[in-house]
Amino acid sequence: MTVKNVGENVNGIKTSLSPEQKALSKSKHTAMVNNIITVVLGVVALFYVYPIFMIVINSLKQESAISTNTAFDLPTSATFAGMANYIHGVTQMDFLSSFGYSLFITVSSVILIILCCSMCAWYISRVDSVLSKVMYYLCIFSMVVPFQMVMFTLAKTADTLKLNNPFNICIIYLGFGAGLAVFMFTGFMKSMPIEIEEAAMIDGYSPLQMFFKVVLPITKPTTISTAILETMWVWNDYLLPTLVLDIKKYRTIPMDIQYFRGSYGSVQMAPMMACIVITIIPVILLYLFCQKYIIEGVVAGAVKG
């Protein structure tokens, strides 16, 4: 063996890595990448939370501290207003009435969407016909149609059919929310074993009994995740109630916040900030109680189909 070959063998031993060493190096690289992604996403999350933090801070300030250059400063002893803005917003700005209308519209709309769309998805996933396919693709198509394309026609139709009140507007929300709900329920129900329903039929269940006692309980993750998504949409919606409802008689929370007026047409920013904080609390609580079902339901409804 020549000196050159010996040198090549020595270099080869030094530079070659065993499979264990390669796996360790790869795991270290993966951990480094994950740490970098975590830091980047953490910074992005801070930027996302910052506006919410500023709303909470400004809701505790006096009105004069918000309208000046101190809007981005923390409250001081001179600018701290405590709960005065919350009390003023609830008692003087008729906020409780708007809260009641928003709560009723949201609950009724979400219940109607979950009930009707789950039944529709069950029919689509179990009946292989042209009608079921047309219904499914119409629901999918409704997801990509911008609301601005139909809003003027919708407002006229709502007035004609007497849907321009908080007790009937849930029918309009059913039409706009059906696309996402049917899509998620259909994807989940297609993965459900049909043998479960056949066993229920053998036990003498009627179709309605089978749906409410067998099918709907199984779809609990998808039902909860869909309910949360629809709740956040209806609760925070401003454009649809403004177009349909009579502003002088009925106002939801987003509508009422737009009319926080003071003297000479000025906007009362401090009570507005306080009411915005009150508005986001129910959605946050709902999300915290049901967050474990969100990812599970979304993945089950969107991937398994």
152-185 pLDDT, tens digit each? 888 888 888 888 888 999 999 998 888 889 998 9
Give tens-digit pLDDT for 201-257: 888 888 888 889 888 888 888 888 888 889 989 998 888 898 888 888 888 888 888
Q: Cα separation of 83 and 107, whole Å?
A: 29
Q: Cα separation of 289 and 217, whole Å?
A: 18
Say whether pLDDT at 260 is over 80: no
Say whether pLDDT at 108 is over 90: yes
Give tens-digit pLDDT for 73-87: 778 777 788 888 888
59-71 average pLDDT score: 76
Say whether pLDDT at 107 is over 60: yes
Higher pLDDT, 293 or 90: 90
Enclosing H/E stretch for 299: helix 269-302
pLDDT at 182: 92
Whether the Cβ atoms of residue 163 and residue 244 lie closer than 8 Å to each other: yes
State how far Cα 305 lies from the chain centre. Answer: 21
Cα atoms in the 13 Å half-sphere on the side-chain side of 287: 10
Which pLDDT band holds residue 113 (cuts at 50, 70, 90)?
Answer: very high
Whether the Cβ atoms of residue 66 and residue 84 lie closer than 8 Å to each other: no
108-115 average pLDDT score: 94
Q: Which of 85, 39, 242 has its CA nearest to residue 154?
A: 242
Say whether pLDDT at 263 is over 60: no
Using alpha carbons, list the distances in angstroms from residue 88 to 66, 157, 253, 273, 282: 16, 38, 15, 11, 20
274-301 average pLDDT score: 76
Say whether pLDDT at 4 is over 80: no
Tokens matching residue 134: 């047309």
- CA torsion through residues 6, 11, 14, 15, sign: negative
Using alpha carbons, list the distances in angstroms from residue 57 to 54, 182, 202, 274: 5, 40, 61, 9
